[in-house]
Amino acid sequence: MKIVVCVKHVPDLQAERRFTDDGRVDRGQGDGTLNELDENAVEAAVALVEAHGGEVVVLTMGPEDAEDAVRRGLQMGADTAVHVLDAAIEGSDAFGTAEVLAAAVRAIGAEGPVDLVVTGMASLDGLMSVVPSLLSAHLGLPQATLAAELTVDPEARTVRVRRELDHATEVLEASLPAVVSVTDQANEPRYPSFKGIMAARKKPVVTWTLADLGVDPSDVGEAGARTRVLEATPRPPREDRVLITDDGDAGLRLAAYLVENRLV
Amino acid sequence: MIETAAAGSAPADAPVLVLVDHHDAGVRAPVLELLTVARGLGVVHAVWFGDGVEGALEQLGAYGVATVHQVTVGDGTAPLPPSAAEALAEVLVASGATTVLVSSTFENKEVAARLALVADAGLVVDASGVEREADGRVVTVQQAFASTWTVRAEVRAGRAVVALKANAAPAEPVEAPRTPHVLRHEVTLASDHGVRVVERTPRAASDRPELGEAQVVVVGGRGTEGDFSVVEELADALGGAVGATRVATDEGWIGHEAQIGQTGVTISPRLYIGAGVSGAVHHRGGMQASGTIVAVNNDPEAPIFEIADLGIVGDLFTVLPQATAEIRRLAAER
Ligand SMILES: Cc1cc2nc3c(=O)[nH]c(=O)nc-3n(C[C@H](O)[C@H](O)[C@H](O)COP(=O)(O)OP(=O)(O)OC[C@H]3O[C@@H](n4cnc5c(N)ncnc54)[C@H](O)[C@@H]3O)c2cc1C
Ligand SMILES: Nc1ncnc2c1ncn2[C@@H]1O[C@H](COP(=O)(O)O)[C@@H](O)[C@H]1O
């Protein structure tokens, strides 16, 4: 089985995240990490290959720093990595991202058919959860998203996904090749071992440009974005915050606060 | 690819499509908010998948719907996102609409994305507001980075697809309701998109309001040590929903569907009360847009106090029952 895992490099959640003056996610803080939710995607892919054989290719699109994200994937057990790096992709929206990732999946497929594309459930900077669907549409492959549980039947060439939606639990079955996204419920991502870290140093990271992929630069990046940020402002801190210590009547004071603020 | 609409060309009377989420008991609450918002954008057309629209016509009319597109996809069962998007694209062209609103659930975001892709539309998900400028442009408001930033964005494409969060705006009926006109569409799909539903188990309805839509949410974390009764009793006294942190759902103290946060449900109720919740960044991502935040935690250093309008340093097992009793006493007096 050949599995492509899409991983994104995002600003660290624990650090202070901000927008630049022209309304883009500030990626210049140098404290980016592999999107945590993509660790679940890498784990799912590596585990499937351990069970059924095959190879895992980690794929990212992003600036220089994004190489860290695929490196981490290699440390976790992926075999090879692809980094799409091109000045023109800066400022891409979900459509530009999906178009580039789809072109890269096709290019990877040209070297041997891809059976499964695995993504995380959301990138923790944008939290859109739409790239997997858009990838599936671009590639013309079935989508089975938000897997809390994922199983592949290599003989039947199907993938089964159990997912918890707002109003129901569903089991979906898709034919391979397919695009799946996994949630943080799907598994417990492994921590790279010392051996894994050493081995990753020798694993190749291939860099591709848009020209290598035959993607028109005007489709992506700022130029191709279908929305534009007009203004990004930090939320003012909450005013009039009150902190009290319970002296035996805090429950009464809580009730009084709700009454006073017309919340009951 | 369907024909491209020119940017900013939407006539003021162009229809706005609103996807109506519904279940056996009728229209889901956030839809009424969408309809209210949609009236500010154009003539409201509702899209209803499947049967049963007759029972909802009066309510849709009361919220200003002029036309309902009743859509049957394939065999009539609820379509998965790829099929729903394909069907919506047909309705979009047939109606001449340039704007589509859906409520921001995971499934609807996928529908919105695939629809926007084929319709060459701009896409905004998890919006907390949407307006049309005088020149016809659609402008949206979103909260970013765990609601620590507010982002205003404009749609540059000629069409816009916007997924709006629940509680983004109050639902208000129109003064002069009318009976919507129903247009039926039978959509034959090009393919089944290679995926089928093997099993679907609807979640049992609870007596409490739905988490994503509730005006009041009381959340329990690790501090409850598995005893959610005090959390539930406070929620019931306030007519609210019960939520949880991931620790609480992972421990199996409450179902996974109750998880609030970045990988769970995103809520923005008028009132959030967290008990035994530390306020980890993953949790904040799903609740920081709440109107008023109250936290009860016995650790004065808990990060949740940084964002709490009212912070109470105390034991949740004494504070919550006392508050519940007082709220019930006050309610009985009124
Ligand atoms: C990829 C990823 C995604 C995640 N997504 C989510 C998510 O969507 N939602 C989410 O919630 N978490 C999520 N998490 C987990 C998150 O990081 C935190 O671990 C979690 O939110 C902590 O839950 P908690 O506040 O219940 O527990 P803790 O952090 O252990 O806090 C418990 C608090 O209870 C207090 N306490 C204890 N006893 C009492 C008492 N008797 N009275 C009052 N206070 C008491 C303690 O002082 C403490 O502050 C995610 C983590 C990862 C890695
Ligand atoms: N620039 C990117 N490079 C690689 N994968 C990405 C990128 N952006 C998004 N993804 C993948 O798509 C998933 C969902 O992203 P999003 O739709 O942005 O929330 C992520 O978890 C990643 O697996």
- CA of A198 vs chain B CAs: smallest distance (Å): 31
Same domain, B43 and B179: yes
Task: Tell me the CATH number at A205.
Answer: 3.40.50.620
B6 has pLDDT over 70 = no
Can you tell me the distance from the alpha carbon of B76 to that of B74, in angstroms, rounded to the nearest whole number?
Answer: 6
Task: Report how far Cα B138 is from the mean position of its chain's Cα atoms.
Answer: 20
Task: Tell me the CATH number at B46.
Answer: 3.40.50.620
Percentage of chain B beyond pLDDT 90 is 81
What total number of domains does chain B contain? Answer: 2
B120-145: pLDDT as tens digits: 999 999 999 999 998 889 999 998 88
First to last CA, chain B: 60
Same domain, B226 and B281: yes
Q: Do B107 and A165 touch (CB under 8 A)?
A: yes
The residue out of B142, B171, B187 marking a domain boundary is B187
The residue out of B145, B168, B187 marking a domain boundary is B187
**Is-contact B255 B199, C-beta < 8 A?**
no
Strands ordered across the beta sheet of A227-234? A227-234, B149-155, B138-144, B121-132, B159-164, B99-103, B15-19, B43-49, B65-73, B181-187
* pLDDT at residue number B7: 47
B119 has pLDDT over 90 = yes
B2 has pLDDT over 60 = no
Classify the complex by whether its ipTM is higher than 0.85, answering yes or no: yes
B88-102: pLDDT as tens digits: 999 999 999 999 999
B8 has pLDDT over 60 = no
B3 has pLDDT over 70 = no
Q: Which chain B residue is nearest to residue A23, measuring alpha carbons?
A: B151
B170 has pLDDT over 70 = yes
Q: Which of A101, A131, A220 to mutate to test the pocket of ligand 2 (most atoms within 8 A of CB)?
A: A131
Q: Is residue A252 part of a domain?
A: no
Q: Is residue A26 part of a domain?
A: yes
Interface probe for A, chosen from B133, B195, B257, B317 (most Cβ of A below 10 Å), is B195
Q: Is residue B195 part of a domain?
A: no
**Is-contact B100 B16, C-beta < 8 A?**
yes
What total number of domains does chain A contain? Answer: 1
Same domain, B29 and B106: yes
Q: Do A255 and B326 touch (CB under 8 A)?
A: yes
Mean predicted confidence (pLDDT) in B8-32: 83
pTM: 0.93
Dump the DSSP string for A114-176: --EEEEES--TTT----HHHHHHHHHT--EEEEESEEEEETTTTEEEEEEE-SSEEEEEEEES
Same domain, B156 and B57: yes
Q: Is residue B117 part of a domain?
A: yes
Q: How many CB atoms lie within 10 A of CB A105?
A: 24
Owning domain of residue B122:
16-187
Q: Do A264 and B281 touch (CB under 8 A)?
A: no
Percentage of chain B beyond pLDDT 70 is 96
Please report residues of B whose CB lies closer than 8 A to that of A98.
117
- CA of B274 vs chain A CAs: smallest distance (Å): 12
* pLDDT at residue number B9: 47
Q: Do B202 and A168 touch (CB under 8 A)?
A: yes
Same domain, B271 and B323: yes
Any atom of ligand 2 within 6 Å of the Cβ of A119: yes
Task: Tell me the CATH number at B286.
Answer: 3.40.50.1220
Q: Is residue B72 part of a domain?
A: yes
- CA of A133 vs chain B CAs: smallest distance (Å): 6
Same domain, B99 and B58: yes
Task: Choose among B94, B45, B198, B28: nearest CA to A149.
Answer: B198
B44-54: pLDDT as tens digits: 999 999 999 99
**Is-contact A245 B300, C-beta < 8 A?**
yes
Distances, alpha carbon A105 to alpha carbons A81, A88, A112, A139, A211, in Å: 12, 19, 11, 8, 15
Ligand 2 centroid–CA A39 distance in Å is 12
Q: Is residue B201 part of a domain?
A: no
Q: Is residue A235 part of a domain?
A: no
Mean predicted confidence (pLDDT) in A247-263: 96
Same domain, B26 and B175: yes
Q: Is residue B193 part of a domain?
A: no
Secondary structure letter of residue B260 according to DSSP:
B
- CA of A209 vs chain B CAs: smallest distance (Å): 23
B4 has pLDDT over 60 = no
Same domain, B318 and B174: no
Same domain, B27 and B162: yes
Same domain, B226 and B298: yes
Same domain, B21 and B161: yes
Owning domain of residue A214:
2-224
**Is-contact B18 B35, C-beta < 8 A?**
yes
* pLDDT at residue number B12: 56
Mean predicted confidence (pLDDT) in A178-192: 96
Q: Is residue B111 part of a domain?
A: yes
Q: Do A137 and B324 touch (CB under 8 A)?
A: no
Q: Which chain A residue is nearest to residue B247, measuring alpha carbons?
A: A185
Query: Which of A48-57, A206-215, B148-157 shows the lowest mean pLDDT across its residues?
Result: B148-157
Same domain, B36 and B180: yes
**Pocket of ligand 1 from Cβ distances under 6 Å:** A 36-37, 184; B 221-223, 245-248, 259-264, 276-278, 280, 282-283, 286, 296-299, 302, 315-317
Q: Is residue B326 part of a domain?
A: yes
